[in-house]
Structure 1
Amino acid sequence: MEPRAVPAGQGVAWLREGLDLFAAAPLTWLGITLLFSGMLVVFSVVPFAGMFASVAIPMFIGGLMLGCDAQRRGQPLEVRYLFSGFEAPRLQPLAIVGALYLAASVVVMLPVIAVVVGTSLAGTFAAVSAGSGGSGSAGLGLAAVVAVAIGLLILVAATVLLSMAIWFAPALVVFRGVAPVDAMKLSLRAALRNLGPFAVYVLAVMGIGLLVMLPLLGAILFAAARGSSGGDLSPMLAIAMGGTGLFALICIVLLMPPMWGAMYASYRDVFGD
């Protein structure tokens, strides 16, 4: 099974299909999103549960891919699809995908953390030995900044590659029965072959996010202008910031279902299902 390369404009088509799936069952999708988000919040506050959440995400995504497929075939979307990835025979391979993703994330983070901690310790020791204002300290400080910047670039690049490796993997497991490692390799190869449509898709999502945020960004600028002209800045800025945060949360909730639908659409487009 070889992934095919599709035109860059398909990135917009993926998002459009995701929006169509969302529009076909908005209340059910919102219920799924709120339930999913609530579980992630619980996992984030319970000690060590975050690791389980990382492993479980491909299982949730696999179930949602089944829900999208049911919608495409004219069947009703149900909340139970969120948990379909936890059923045999999909449970074990999807859990392995999640475990591999978690392990790879840890491996990526360790050298970056080592660089940041190492440069910080070196800077501290140099400052202690040089007293204050030494040129050696300044040079080491610049080196530390460069090292941290390089570490962050490596982290970003590795995160993008990991995201590519997991993008198609749940769908490949649930629809094609591909083994976990093979599914992640195939997903990475498919994503690298379709950098154009993925770039267009990301820009389209960012464009939607920017458009919906413009009114509240304008409110923040208005509050800042009022403060600079002698008005009381604090109340308006607090309202603007609070409103921006709430509005951003609402937008994220509304964007998640179309993005899941776009993931399904991209799988069908690239793998011909």
Structure 2
Amino acid sequence: MNNPSQHEQPSVKARTMADALKWVSGGFALFKSDVGTWVKTIVVGFCIMIAMGMIPVLGSVASMLLTYVWIGGLMLGCHAVYEGKSFDIKYLFAGFNTNLLKLVQLSVITGLASLFVMSLVFSPENYEAALNIEQLSQAEAEAFMQDFLVKFLFVMLLMLPLIMASWFAPALIVFHNMSVFSAMRASIDACAKNVMPFLLYGLVTTAMYIAALIPLFLGLLVVLPVIVASIYMSYRDIFLTSDSAHSMSFEA
């Protein structure tokens, strides 16, 4: 199989809802090819994020800057497995060697946009009330939760274009050397042309994520790599002229 970067400029194709299930099953196939290494990679990633979170201010800034650096690296790892190679923990850091600046720029743009959206909806008073909710009366607490739910849904609505813009952008950057804004536009186009498949995909992966939280969050060690790998599989299916999900067969 060819490296995606060897293809001509990727073109967006519309897929069916059935293909959304293939993305998830394909992601699981990539994961089960080397479960142990995938789990170790996720654990190391968690530890790094926790360590950065312990550093005041700078840790949060670093986390924001590196968000899509990690994801870009894992996309490269998914491609390696798809090509029949072994997955390795080194792919968690592969984004540092492949279009690092663009991945950081993508992280900054999405991070700042997210903060801006949050600031439009949630005021400092909301955060203070959330921290002291146990001091509110039952009626006040219920009113607060209702208000919070409405604002949360509004935030999700505002965040939807940002999620669409960033969903495929890391893969398009690392595999096709696209500019940040070109990758974001292409990602939006792909999501817009595949609304129904992504609706089903979102329902399935959300259910998987919720189920993963039940056993002391341990299920995330399986669900997170499967979701990451499914993003790669959907990227191949939607953007690449050949090796689409309609003709692909991956056996781990």
Mark yes or no: TM-score above 0.5.
yes
CA-to-aligned-CA distance 1:67-114 (integer Å, 9 cap, x gap): 1101111111111111010115x1111110001011111211121124
Q: Whose helix proportion is higher, 1 or 2? A: 1
Distance 1:170 1:212 in 2: 25
Indicate if the aligned counterparts of 2:37 and 2:87 stay in contact, CA closer than 8 A: yes
Distance 1:206 1:251 in 2: 13
User: Match for residue 46 of structure 2?
Assistant: 37
Q: State the superposition RMSD in angstroms.
A: 2.5
CA 1:45–1:5 in 2, change beyond 3 Å: closer, same or farther? same
Tell me the TM-score normalised to structure 1 length: 0.72
Indicate if the aligned counterparts of 1:116 and 1:147 stay in contact, CA closer than 8 A: no
Report the alpha carbon displacement of residue 248 of structure 1 after superposing the two structures with TM.
3.8
Identity of paired residues, percent?
A: 27
CA-to-aligned-CA distance 1:155-183 (integer Å, 9 cap, x gap): 11122322221110000000111101111
CA 1:208–1:111 in 2, change beyond 3 Å: closer, same or farther? closer
Distance 2:212 2:48 in 1: 26
Tell me the TM-score normalised to structure 2 length: 0.78
Indicate if the aligned counterparts of 2:12 and 2:239 stay in contact, CA closer than 8 A: yes
Count of matched residue pairs? 218
The one-letter code matched in structure 2 to 1:63 is G
1:74 aligns with 2:84: yes
User: Match for residue 218 of structure 2?
Assistant: 250
CA-to-aligned-CA distance 1:163-207 (integer Å, 9 cap, x gap): 221110000000111101111121122112212111111222234
Three-state SS of the structure 1 residue aligned to 2:32 is helix
1:111 aligns with 2:79: no
Gaps of 5+ in 1: 121-137, 214-243
User: Match for residue 95 of structure 1?
Assistant: 104
CA 1:47–1:20 in 2, change beyond 3 Å: closer, same or farther? same
CA 1:9–1:58 in 2, change beyond 3 Å: closer, same or farther? same
Which structure's CA Rg is the greater one?
A: 1
Three-state SS of the structure 2 residue aligned to 1:249 is coil
CA 1:206–1:109 in 2, change beyond 3 Å: closer, same or farther? closer
